[in-house]
Amino acid sequence: MGLFSQLAEKPWTPEQAAIDDRHKGVEFSLPTPQFGLRVFLGFVTVIFTLFVVVYVERMVFADWKPMPEPWLLWVNTAILVISSIGLQWAWVSADKGDADGVKKGLYLGGVLAFAFLTGQLLVWQQLVVLGFYASSNPASAFFYLFTALHAVHLLGGLVAWGRTAIKVKSGMDVAKVRGSVELCAVYWHFLLVIWIVIFGLLLFT
């Protein structure tokens, strides 16, 4: 039953009580960590949405000068996509109970995430060489801000990834790491979507 339709219940009537007494006290069938991650992703979505709104608002002012888009960003995007695919592979393998697949997928995803972060640093370096500093124009300031914020989230994800990778490496049962692998994969896909939105915003403005 939907959250809002429950608001119409009359908890003091015997008819409703007969139904309520059977209630397990749990609203969604998702396991708690999975549900918690989704609430957190909702929070992060609000943050990025507000940043995008502010970006669009700020863009209309006269001093806005569009940024160059280094070709390296395309490479980084491809790396992040493959990283996400790696984690998806790990997740699917975990569902099948395939320990080897979990290990390979997880390692592929994590290593490529590090590669992505290195690539982003290289982009920063290129831009600095070209003379685009954070203070030189709001467009470049937003670029540094967005990429840094995205990278911080990815680094946080890599902490969770590291803990999962240690468990997998120590040969823990696939069924036991399945939850952690799923959390990592969902988070990775989410950050990929965020990155594509940011990258698209930079390309089209």
Partner 1 sequence: MAYVAPAPAEVEEVELYHAKSFITKYVFSQDAKVIAIQYSFTAIAIGVVGLVLSSMMRLQLGFPDSFSIIDPADYYQFITMHGMIMVIYLLTALFLGGFGNYLIPLMVGARDMVFPYVNMISYWVYLLAVLVLVASFFVEGGPTGAGWTLYPPQAILEGTPGSGGGIILMLVSLIFFIIGFTMGGLNYVVTVLQGRTRGMTLMRMPLTIWGIFIATILALLAFPALFVGGVMLLLDRVLETSFFMPAIISMGEQLEYGGGSPILFQHLFWFFGHPEVYIVGLPAFGIVSDLISVHARRHIFGYRMMVWALVAIGGISFIVWAHHMYVSGMNPWFGFFFATTTLIIAIPTALKVYNWVLTLWKANIRFTIPMLFALGFIVTFVNGGITGLFLGNTAIDVPLSDTMFVVAHFHMVMGVAPLMVIFGAIYHWFPLMSGRMLDETLGRIHFWVTFIGAYSIFLPLHYIGFQGVPRRYFEMGETNFIPPSVQDLNAFVTVVAVMVGFAQILFFYNLFKSMSSGEIAEKNPWKAASLEWQTPEQPPAHGNFGDELPVVYRWAYAYGVPGAKDDFVPQDMHPDEVGGEGAHEASKE
Kindly list the residues in this chain that would bind partner 1 in the complex (CB under 8 A): 3, 6-14, 17-18, 20-28, 32-33, 35-36, 39-40, 42-43, 46-47, 50-51, 54, 57-58, 61-64, 134-135, 138, 141, 145, 149
Q: Which is nearer to partner 1, 42 or 100 (CB)?
A: 42
Question: How buried is 19 (Cβ within 10 angstroms: 0-12 exposed, 13-18 middle, 19+ buried)?
Answer: exposed
Q: How far is the CB of 152 from partner 1 (least distance, A)?
A: 11
- Cβ distance 91 to 148 under 8 Å? no
DSSP 8-class letter at 130: T
Q: Which is nearer to partner 1, 54 or 111 (CB)?
A: 54
Phi, psi of 60 (to 5 degrees): -75, -10
Q: Which is nearer to partner 1, 108 or 172 (CB)?
A: 172
Q: How far is the CB of 93 from partner 1 (least distance, A)?
A: 27
Q: How far is the CB of 203 from partner 1 (least distance, A)?
A: 21
Q: How far is the CB of 127 from partner 1 (least distance, A)?
A: 14
Closest CA to 182 of 80, 43, 84, 88: 88
The number of helix segments (H) and strand segments (E) in the chain equals 7, 0
Spatial separation of the C-alpha atoms in residues 119 and 72, rounded to whole Å: 7
21's CB contacts (< 8 A; 6+ apart) are none
Q: Which is nearer to partner 1, 61 or 204 (CB)?
A: 61
Q: Which is nearer to partner 1, 38 or 104 (CB)?
A: 38
Q: How far is the CB of 82 from partner 1 (least distance, A)?
A: 30
